[in-house]
Amino acid sequence: MKILRRNLSLMLAVRYLNPLRTMFSVITLICLGGVALGVMVLIVVLSVMSGLQTTMEERVLAFTPHYSVVLTDGFGRSAISDQECNWAETIDKLQEVPGVVSVYPQLENDGFAQTAHGRLTVHFNAIQPHNYAQWLPLKEMLKEKDEWLAGEDERLKAGEQDFGFGEGLNQECIVSATTATSLGLNVGDTVHLTPVGSLDEVASIYAMIQSPLQTQENKEFMEGLSVLFEGAAEANGGIIVAPEKLEKILSIIQEFDQKKLRDSEKEACDTLYMLAADHLGNVPFSEEEQKTWKDTAAGLAALDRDKEDGKAVKSINEMVMPVDLKVIGIYQAPENMPGPNIYLPLTIAQDVMGYSATATESADDEASGECEPGRSGQIMGICVRVENPNNPGDVEMKILQALPDMSTPSQTHPMGMGWHISPWTKSFEQWYKLIANERIMMSFVLSIISLIASFCIMAVMFTMSMQRKREIAVLQALGATPGKIMGIFAWQGVIIGFVGAILGVVLALLVLYFRLEIQAALASIGMDPFPMQAHGIELPAEYDPAMFARQAIQAFVMVTIASIIPAFIVSRQDPAKALRAN
């Protein structure tokens, strides 16, 4: 009370806001309610949107690596072979990088999943046996599991963190709930999986075997090969072939349709092309090169179409390897989020995709005593998970520094190879921007609504000031300065803004706390604003004190400004005219 008596403007502002004095107090309560509701709606909507984004990110990152590390050869992505790069050692080395949580091989593809209930195109991912870090995010989403998986919790309590999914050659898999529903699968059932990644190659092979051997069909080419050294001049311990003969051979090889050449033809043509190109500038053929040329030409002439077609068809069987998988678990993922339909063991995935070590390589290794434990052929890339995927710092640079140098040219990759790192935000860039834009637009729209409410409060203040023109004129006649007059209405705006903002935050906390009950009540009357069928998750919310304070301060400032403008106009009135008008 002492403070009020010392501050005339504040005392009068409080008396004007007293809800028991006059009819204008009802308007004051309406202003308070409007500010509180505006703040509440802003906080609730932004909290739910933030919670939705956080939850979706967690679900996406449950089956998406934070960084994908792949090899490129200058033309496109290349598989990581254990012969060119010991990827197991590379994974162990990356695991030691500061900030890295887990590292595991990447292998994924599309396929046809078939049961007695139908067939479905699916996307499958591979899980490395005994890699618990790769398995843990998936474990959190399991809704059904067999006895072996059910014992996983007991093993964890005993201190064991060694997940053996797909250990050895166990043909088992974990499917998503949507896939299980579409194919009528339950835990313990069997699904037949056929990869589709090789279908383009299969189609090209079938198209190829419909045509004859291109090299043998080209009489000019075969004749040119056989008579190449006729009439050649001897020089420097070899013979020099006329350049026009070599150019003719090169042009014919370039005209061949590569898609219709059998593998034996391609190999022979590559050898002949390199020899011809190396001797264009009157470079003599050595005796060894002459022998290579003649043997290659004789090999082309002796090719048998039926045998070559048989090899091609056999390669199809090696590319497409259907497999029957036992379902040992079903996991629940958001229905509108991208995720693998099937998880299967790494060794099985490699066999299905033709990425496993060949029988010849394995036999050679055993014979030489160099067979490494865990040897498993090729992978598509290396997946890296870090401590903070949204703010990784310099982890990406450290990962690059830890990778082995692959720039040395080889016979397979004459230009060498290089590493490429892709963060998860790039893979989901469009989705990430969509969620962020939704939050920005929602905040913008609701802020416009708050601005409109501020204009309404300004109109109310104008009305109140016009109704009190006589009182204001009396105060001016008694010596009240314009600043004191402005202070009366400014204090009203401050009080309304402050109390309304506090009430808005309290209401928002209550609504967020009881959001599921409110959602259920609205759903019971057919007004569910957040159906689970669309998201596959409960109504989320994120409690961000900074955002709460920001919205409350924003509302307070807007209401205060809306009160000062009419106060400034009224404080400049002529008291004599105001008294005469009343």
| Mean pLDDT, the chain, whole residue set | 77
Please state the three-class secondary structure of 240-308 as a single string.
ECCHHHHHHHHHHHHHCCHHHCCHHHHHHHHHHHHHHHHCCCCCCECHHHHHHHHHHHHHHHCCCHHHH
Query: pLDDT > 70: what percent of the chain?
Result: 74
Query: pLDDT > 90: what percent of the chain?
Result: 4
In this prediction, residues 327-347 reach a mean pLDDT of: 78
pLDDT digits (tens, 9 = 90+) for 407-447: 877 666 667 788 888 888 777 767 667 777 777 777 777 77
- The pLDDT assigned to 110 comes to 87
Please report how the helices 132-139 and 24-62 are oriented relative to each other, as an axis angle in degrees rounded to 10: 140
Place of tokens 């739910």: 48
Which residues, including other chains, have CB under 8 Å from residue 399's CB and lie 6 or more apart? 67, 69, 94, 97, 100, 384, 421
pLDDT digits (tens, 9 = 90+) for 155-190: 554 444 555 565 555 688 889 888 998 999 998 899
The encoded tokens of residue 221 equal 């080419």
- The pLDDT assigned to 21 comes to 52
Residue 191 has pLDDT above 80, yes or no: yes
Q: Which helix (H) or strand (E) holds 458?
A: helix 429-467
- The pLDDT assigned to 506 comes to 93
How many angstroms from the chain centroid is the CA of residue 444?
Answer: 27
- The pLDDT assigned to 374 comes to 39
Which amino acid is it at 135? W
What confidence category does residue 478 fall into, taking pLDDT thresholds of 50, 70 and 90? low
pTM for the full predicted model: 0.57
More confident residue, 43 or 321: 43
Tell me the C-alpha distance between 330 and 214, whole Å.
51
- Cα-based distances in Å from 544 to 42, 201, 505, 512: 13, 53, 12, 12
Range with the lowest mean pLDDT among 249-253, 377-381, 453-457, 518-522? 453-457
Tell me the C-alpha distance between 289 and 275, whole Å.
8
Residue 481 has pLDDT above 60, yes or no: yes
